[in-house]
């Protein structure tokens, strides 16, 4: 076993372990923090595989922004310290579905790749990923960017009563206008 | 030089820089602020102009009792100061001091790593804010999170502009590609980066999350002793890191007369000059209100950095 193998297994264990804690922990904010650990370990897995850029994108986007937004939203609403009693759900069906999907995927992968040894791919440097995205995959990339742009515009339209969102019925238009920060 | 010795020298050098530079900046802050306000600042510790004041502070912090608030989530509460400090240690690794590979760790995508890791600091803010079980802390933490998320965008866009100009994401590579006329070409991006960087490290005038006149001390309210010292250290390392990144990206790092021999000195000089400006800001500007803060970010910095990107591409494709 090489160092890379050991690292892969260790990081994988951390990712899966903290992932399990995310769904089993009764502490609301702590599960968010376990998610940070889990996603960080996944970034570590990318690093071991030589995909530097993807790893740091993972940290920048998921750890630095997505989880933070999630924690932010939780803290704005209800984030008690300590265990929350109302978080229990019957675990049986979801465990069954999760285990089934996991087992099915594992079987699929094992069947697809068998024990063939593949040559190690080139490291995923920024240059190579940039070349691939803006060469081979430029159409999906542009389509995705249009999708994101329309989502952004949609979010703005929905949140601004002066250009599209419906005003609350009990307010007269003048009152609603006053509430919009100038 | 054998590999282990090389590694040891680099690690020790980074640790020394990590521990010494913030103290120098902290002491400079004491003295510069004092003189700008017509005082003399600390004068007694260490006999000569109070040079040992921060060492004395450190000794005091170590002696203090380790206090937890009653309702706090202890594990998260204890972890937060370390999470706040650790990202900066990693960033210091990647900052090039001089030419010919005078950098602790040369990385192809150093710039990207730095931005990703700086974004991680917000997790520490949220952790400390929530775990303190204190309304003021939580308010400060939420303000901090909103501020850090917002200002990360102009920070990344401004850095992207200079990376496009240099054609590389490696920090030493950017300094190598730097030319003096970039001072004008990349000036808007430089300004945006510096201002957004100030907001990222929550220094005045962007210290809304710790506004002491309304939130006691924001997310740091409940911290005492060594843990509080960690937060303070993180703040001063933050100053050094932001000054160093602005130096490396926009002020040409080690470029200057006799750069081959004195490159490291030029980098340090520029870092200290920028740190002085950061301290100067603290003395001269009143705190921005929360809405002014967000307005500056979304209506000034983001459009300016987007325009800078267009300008960069235009000039780059013409030359």
Question: Integer distance in angstroms from the first to the last C-alpha of chain A?
Answer: 63
Same domain, A72 and A151: no
Same domain, A113 and A153: no
Per-residue pLDDT reduced to its tens digit, A131-152? 888 888 899 999 999 999 999 8
Per-residue pLDDT reduced to its tens digit, B57-100? 888 888 888 888 887 788 888 888 888 888 888 888 888 877 76
pLDDT for B136: 87
pLDDT for A149: 94
How big is chain B by its Cα radius of gyration, in Å? 20
Distance, CA of B29 to chain centre: 14
A66 within some domain:
yes
**Distance (Å) from the C-alpha of residue A55 to the closest C-alpha of chain B?**
9
B40 within some domain:
no
- Residues forming a β-bridge with B102: B98
Asked if A30's CB is within 8 angstroms of B130's CB, the reply is: no
A90 within some domain:
no
pLDDT for B186: 84
Same domain, A118 and A142: no
- Chain B residues with CB under 8 Å of a chain A CB are 71-73, 76, 107-109, 112-113, 115-117, 119-120, 122-123, 126-127, 129-131, 133, 138, 141-142, 145-146, 148-149, 152, 156, 169, 291
pLDDT for A180: 47
Q: Which residue has the higher pLDDT, A178 or B36?
A: B36
- Residues forming a β-bridge with B98: B102
**Distance (Å) from the C-alpha of residue B97 to the closest C-alpha of chain A?**
23
Using an 8 Å Cβ cutoff, are A62 and A12 in contact?
no
Using an 8 Å Cβ cutoff, are B256 and B262 in contact?
yes
Residue B148 CA to residue B217 CA, distance in Å, equals 17
Long-range contacts (CB closer than 8 Å, 24 or more residues apart) made by B8-11: B10/B104, B10/B105, B11/B104
Same domain, A17 and A70: yes
Average pLDDT value over all residues in chain A: 81
Distance, CA of B266 to chain centre: 19
Using an 8 Å Cβ cutoff, are B226 and B61 in contact?
yes
Q: How much is the average pLDDT of B187-212?
A: 86
Average pLDDT value over all residues in chain B: 84
Domain count of chain B?
Answer: 1
CATH number, position A3: 1.20.120.1200
Predicted confidence band at A168 (pLDDT cuts at 50, 70, 90)?
Answer: low
Torsion of CA A98, A102, A107, A108, to 10 degrees: 100
Residue A113 CA to residue A111 CA, distance in Å, equals 6
pLDDT for B141: 86
Asked if A81's CB is within 8 angstroms of B130's CB, the reply is: yes
**Distance (Å) from the C-alpha of residue B109 to the closest C-alpha of chain A?**
7
Residue B279 CA to residue B269 CA, distance in Å, equals 15
Q: Which residue has the higher pLDDT, A85 or A72?
A: A72
Find chain A residues with C-beta within 8 A of B146's C-beta: 72
Same domain, A48 and A118: yes
Per-residue pLDDT reduced to its tens digit, A37-80? 899 899 988 888 888 888 888 888 888 788 888 888 888 777 77
pLDDT for A145: 92
Q: How much is the average pLDDT of A9-15?
A: 91
Same domain, A68 and A35: yes
Same domain, A6 and A60: yes
Residue B14 CA to residue B93 CA, distance in Å, equals 6
Copy the structure tokens of residue B138.
Answer: 């939580």
**Phi, then psi, of B151 in degrees rounded to 5:** -80, -10
Using an 8 Å Cβ cutoff, are B249 and B193 in contact?
yes
pLDDT for A164: 67
A96 within some domain:
no
A116 within some domain:
yes
Domain count of chain A?
Answer: 2
pLDDT for B1: 65
B20 within some domain:
no
Same domain, A1 and A62: yes
B76 within some domain:
yes
B184 contact partners, CB below 8 Å, separation of at least 6? none
Is the pLDDT confidence value at B22 over 80? yes
Same domain, A116 and A145: no
Q: Which of A85-89, B177-181, B236-240, B243-247 has the lowest mean pLDDT?
A: A85-89
Per-residue pLDDT reduced to its tens digit, B94-123? 888 777 666 666 677 788 888 888 888 888
Same domain, A5 and A50: yes
pLDDT for B101: 65
**Which residue range forms the structural domain that includes residue A6?**
1-81+103-123
**Which residue range forms the structural domain that includes residue B284?**
64-318
Which residue bears the tokens 């999170």?
B145
The 3-state DSSP class for residue B94 equals: helix
Question: How much of chain B, in percent, has pLDDT values that exceed 90?
Answer: 7
Between A and B, how many CB-CB pairs are < 8 A? 81
Using an 8 Å Cβ cutoff, are B287 and B207 in contact?
yes
pLDDT for A171: 52
Same domain, A108 and A154: no
Residue B69 CA to residue B80 CA, distance in Å, equals 14
- Residue A154's H or E segment, with its range, is helix A138-159
B13 within some domain:
no
């Amino acid at each position: 076993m090489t160092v890379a193998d050991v690292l892969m297994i260790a990081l994988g264990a951390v990712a899966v372990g903290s992932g399990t804690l995310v769904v089993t922990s009764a502490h609301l904010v702590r599960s968010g923090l376990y998610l940070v650990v889990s996603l960080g370990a996944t970034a570590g897995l990318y690093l071991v595989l030589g995909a530097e850029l993807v790893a740091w994108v993972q940290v920048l986007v998921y750890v630095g922004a997505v989880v933070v937004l999630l924690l932010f939203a939780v803290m704005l609403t209800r984030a008690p310290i300590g265990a929350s009693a109302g978080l229990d759900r019957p675990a049986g069906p979801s465990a069954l579905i999760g285990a089934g999907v996991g087992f099915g995927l594992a079987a699929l992968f094992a069947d697809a790749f068998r024990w063939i040894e593949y040559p190690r791919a080139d490291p995923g440097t920024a240059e190579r990923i940039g070349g691939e995205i803006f060469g081979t995959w430029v159409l999906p990339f542009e389509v995705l960017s249009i999708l994101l742009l329309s989502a952004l515009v949609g979010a703005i339209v929905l949140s601004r009563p002066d250009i599209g969102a419906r005003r609350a019925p009990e307010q007269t238009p003048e009152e609603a206008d006053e509430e919009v920060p100038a | 030089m054998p590999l282990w010795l090389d590694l040891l020298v680099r690690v020790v050098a980074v640790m020394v820089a990590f521990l010494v530079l913030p103290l120098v900046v902290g002491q400079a802050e004491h003295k510069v602020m004092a003189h700008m306000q017509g005082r003399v600042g600390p004068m007694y510790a260490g006999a000569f102009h109070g040079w040992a004041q921060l060492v004395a502070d450190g000794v005091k912090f170590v002696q203090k009792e380790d206090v937890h608030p009653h309702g706090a989530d202890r594990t998260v509460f204890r972890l937060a100061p370390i999470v706040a400090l650790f990202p900066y240690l990693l960033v210091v690794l990647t900052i090039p001091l001089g030419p010919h590979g005078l950098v602790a760790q040369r990385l192809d995508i150093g710039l990207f790593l730095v931005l990703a890791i700086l974004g991680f600091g917000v997790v520490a803010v949220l952790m400390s804010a929530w775990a303190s079980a204190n309304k003021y802390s939580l308010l400060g933490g939420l303000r901090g999170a909103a501020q850090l998320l917002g200002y990360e965008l102009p920070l990344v866009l401004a850095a992207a502009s200079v990376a496009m100009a240099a054609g590389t994401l490696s920090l030493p590579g950017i300094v190598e590609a730097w030319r003096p006329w970039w001072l004008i070409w990349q000036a808007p991006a430089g300004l945006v980066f510096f201002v957004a960087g100030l907001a990222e490290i929550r220094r005045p005038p962007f210290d809304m999350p710790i506004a002491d006149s309304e939130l006691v001390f924001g997310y740091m309210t409940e911290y005492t002793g060594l843990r509080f010292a960690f937060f303070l250290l993180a703040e001063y390392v933050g100053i050094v890191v932001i000054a160093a990144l602005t130096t490396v990206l926009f002020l040409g790092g080690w470029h200057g007369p006799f750069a081959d021999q004195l490159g490291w000195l030029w980098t340090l000089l520029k870092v200290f000059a920028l740190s002085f400006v950061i301290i100067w800001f603290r003395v001269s500007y009143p705190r921005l209100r929360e809405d002014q803060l967000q307005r500056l970010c979304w209506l000034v910095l983001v459009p300016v950095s987007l325009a800078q990107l267009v300008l960069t591409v235009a000039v780059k494709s013409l030359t």
